[in-house]
Structure 1
Amino acid sequence: MRAQRFPQSSMIDRIGYDDAAGTLSISFRDTGKYFYHGVPAALFDAFCHAASAGTFFNEHIKDRFRCVRDPERRRFGPNA
């Protein structure tokens, strides 16, 4: 898996890409990790070089690919 961190982004902590599965994982700072299926490798590469990770996500990823919340994420708190 290839990965990229975004320390300057207030929205996205890091992204990862599984070339074999065509799956992009995005770790959001506030809501956790999500998997986006069917994402082309070229889009991951462009994401890594984007001036703004949040803007790139909103313009090129959000609502364009099937999305699944990380099934390994454990929920804590009163509403868990």
Structure 2
Amino acid sequence: MIQWTSVSSTAIRKIGYDPSTRQMYIDFEDSAPYYAYCSVPQHVFEQFVSASSVGRFYHQHIKGQYDC
């Protein structure tokens, strides 16, 4: 089951994670419905949602790293 977490960001509305499949989902402000990322370790998801800048974290640690 996907756990959704709202985040404070101008680019990202919320981030979802399914620990059973290690898939992460990002709901961007300017797209619908969301993008999926595969084989994401749970600790990366936890760091992402608690980052001081989720946009910066996305660009430095997610984008291009976990494409399905």
TM normalised by structure 2 equals: 0.89
Equivalent residue pairs, number: 66
More helix by share: 2
Structure 2 distance, partners of 1:16, 1:45, is 11
Q: What residue in structure 1 maps to residue 23 of structure 2?
A: 23
Is 2:9 the counterpart of 1:9?
yes
| Secondary structure of the structure 2 residue equivalent to 1:48 | helix
Residue identity (%): 35
SS of match in other structure, 2:20:
coil
Which structure's CA Rg is the greater one?
A: 1
Compute the TM-score of the two structures, normalised by the length of structure 1: 0.77
Amino acid corresponding to residue 36 of structure 1 in structure 2: Y
Structure 2: state its 5+ residue gaps.
none
Residue 66 (structure 1) shift: 1.5
Query: Over aligned residue pairs, what C-alpha RMSD do you find?
Result: 1.0
- Give the 5 Å matches for 1:60-71: 60-67=61-68
- Structure (1 or 2) with the greater strand fraction: 1
Deviations 1:29-55 (A, max 9, x none): 002210000110000011111001111
After TM superposition, the runs of 4+ consecutive aligned structure 1 residues lying more than 2 A away are none
